[in-house]
A and B are shown apart, each in its own frame.
Chain A
Amino acid sequence: MSFPLVKSLAALTAAATLAIQPAWASDKVKIGFVSTLSGPSAALGVDIRDAFMLAVKLNGGKLGGLPADVSISDDQFKPDVGKQLFERYVKRDKVDFLTGVVFSNIMLAGLPEAVDNKTIYLSPNAAPSPIAGAQCTPYFFAVSWPNDAYHEAAGQYATNLKVKSAYLLAPNYQAGKDSLAGFKRFFKGNVSGEVYTKLGQLDYSAELAEIRAAKPEVVYTFLPGGMGINFIKQFMAAGLNKDIRLIQPGFGSDQDVIRAVGNDMLGIFDTAHWGLDLPNEANKKFVAEFEKEYKRLPTIYAAQGYDTALLIDAAVRAANGKIEDKEAMIKTLKTVKFNSVRGDFRFNTNQYPIQNYYLREIQKDAQGRLVNRIVGQPVLTNHGDAYVKDCPMK
């Protein structure tokens, strides 16, 4: 029994010494990037990452004048993996900023690590309602939108259309609950069904049978990534699109879903805070550069990832590279102006955005590709969120 003990000990000590890397003080911006880079919903994390790195590249590999050291990891769609990665970036690598996570459940699992260790997390996507309200923290910035927002806009749109009955479906996790709560907040018609599916569920035959029986006028689903792709395919395969209208939040009908489902998507309406054709300079550059670099059109996720990098860039520049002072950095992030691809926006007291939400329709562009086109006036203008009053931050 003696040899293996000694051998294991040797391995342990070797590992300890080999893997220990002292953390140097920063003349650079260290960023920990954790996202879902594998599995059916990988396209979302990949878009955020690609856009973020594009912004860094267009900036000469720098953010705010300092060289950017971005470390990228895959949370594999698992909250415990995400949490461990957060811990490693925050405790071992002592990063200056954390970002990247797509899904609310993973972000919520990891956020305490960041907050406990005074590291700022900038969310390029997940922005759940508890953190907008009573559990708000200065170490969390939602660079994207409050979780409810797209759904509130969709609910408003359905109300504008005078829809009488809507059947709602979302996955059973924080963002899912936020989504349907948001829709119901602005929808004045009758909710004929409210169903929560399992996060990551791919087979919707059961739910589709129920929808067929309920005969609603509209079906509204929040199913990001692979979930949405499967649902829409199965929805069409079951012939339900003949009589029932599908309304989506922008997540459910963006480029990733369009690529996977195809021409059946034509004519679907959705709501979002951004569109490919928003007419500001930053956006035109972003879309052109993204397509040139990656040979595909960007999604809202990409737009958010890009904006996150731009925000960091502006804030670090405004702080003259002094990023160690966290309190000062937080104040700077809250107020710094930068040219976002979505146009004008500002942060609310709870560090969630106040911005416009647009109606989009899937149409064919000049090259015959299916894209989301902004139509009409914004559905919601300068819209914040319903939870800011519960947040004690000023």
Chain B
Amino acid sequence: MLEQALNGLQFGLMLFLLASGLTLVFGIMDMINLAHGALYMVGAFLAAWLVQLTQSFLSGVLLAVGLTAVVGMLLEATLLRTLYARDHLSQVLATFALILIINDSVRMIWGSDLALSAPQALSGPVQLLPGLLYPSYRLVIIAVGLAIALLLFVLVTRTRMGAWVRAGASNREMAMAMGINIKVLFTGVFGLGAALCAVAGAMLGPLLAVQVGMGENILILAFVVIVIGGIGSVWGAFVGAILVGFVDTMGRTLLPHLFREIFSPQFASAAGPAVASILVYVLMAVVLFVRPQGLFSGRS
């Protein structure tokens, strides 16, 4: 049971990395970025490639994060900037097109998948409690996730840049009027979002598979998280992500278990994950109904 809770936490933290970038972009620039998942994929591929090149997990991942941030900022400065003023529909079309382009570009460069393994040192279990062995790599993910969350909070709440970000999310026109260099701020925020995506992609790569299209599945969950948490709020993204991570993981494990008591194993295996996934969306629908702006609203 504790093991499952830890798994939920681990997944939730990675979701947070994705969701925080997404919520900032949506909150501040008012842009629906469907290509956010593609950046997550690019980060994972770069990590797999660079780890192979440098033969060091740490260097590979750090380099990948940096490179993805650069890619993100380039994208923003050239293309996405023109979309801020456009309506949501155009943004959907443009970023959807971007997914297609990025997916095939990755395929052209690296093929449709790339192997990424956790460092040898972390491939074994760690004894947390008597009788409870937990994979050390997953513990590292939790640690990294928490550390970055902390860093983000400090950045957003205690630094001047963070204040600009919050001002921009809260009321863009006012922020501009107060003299904040919006262009640089936007590019920076986008780069940060891309970097966070890359961390998630690189860390999850060894557990899931680094493959083209890996972004599409997790993107929707990230959107659900920011709707629950409140668009523009990093704290909301955190709470939302942990919530969704738990509901999803616990659902996927408890429900089939429960169902297996009552139904056949094949039915239980099909129904369990389905109901678990549905639960996440039901959660979002309920939040939207009760508090349409999300749990913690970033906007004023």
Contact = CB atoms under 8 A, between A and B. Distances in A.
Asked if chains A and B are in direct contact (CB within 8 A), the reply is yes
Interface of A: 37-40, 42, 172, 177, 194-198, 202-203, 205-206, 209-210, 212, 226, 230, 233-234, 236-239, 260
B266 A172 contact: yes
B134 interface: yes
A235 B107 CA distance: 30
A238 B125 contact: yes
Contact of A238 (B133, B265, B269): B133
B135 A196 contact: no
Contacts of B212: 38
**What range describes how many residues of B lie at the interface?**
35 or more
B208 A203 contact: yes
Nearest to B207: A203
B124 interface: yes
Interface string B230-273: 00000000000000000001001100110000000110111001
B7 A237 contact: no
Given A38-B113, A42-B112, A238-B125, A206 B266 contact: no
Given A38-B212, A237-B124, A230 B112 contact: no
Contacts of A260: 115
A233 B137 CA distance: 12
Interface string B115-127: 1011000011100
B208 A202 contact: yes
Nearest to B122: A237
Contacts of B273: 198
B4 interface: yes
Nearest to B107: A38
Contact of B249 (A39, A195, A206): A206
B209 interface: yes
B210 to A, nearest CB: 9
A177 B266 CA distance: 8
B3 interface: yes
Contacts of B256: 195
Given A196-B270, A209-B3, A237-B135, A39 B112 contact: yes
Nearest to B270: A172
A234 B112 contact: no
A278 B91 CA distance: 59
Contact of A237 (B3, B125, B266): B125
B209 A196 contact: no
A40 B125 contact: no
A351 B138 CA distance: 48
B137 A237 contact: yes
Contacts of B136: 237
Given A38-B107, A209-B4, A238-B135, 9 more contacts: A37-B112, A38-B212, A198-B269, A203-B208, A205-B249, A234-B135, A237-B123, A237-B125, A237-B135
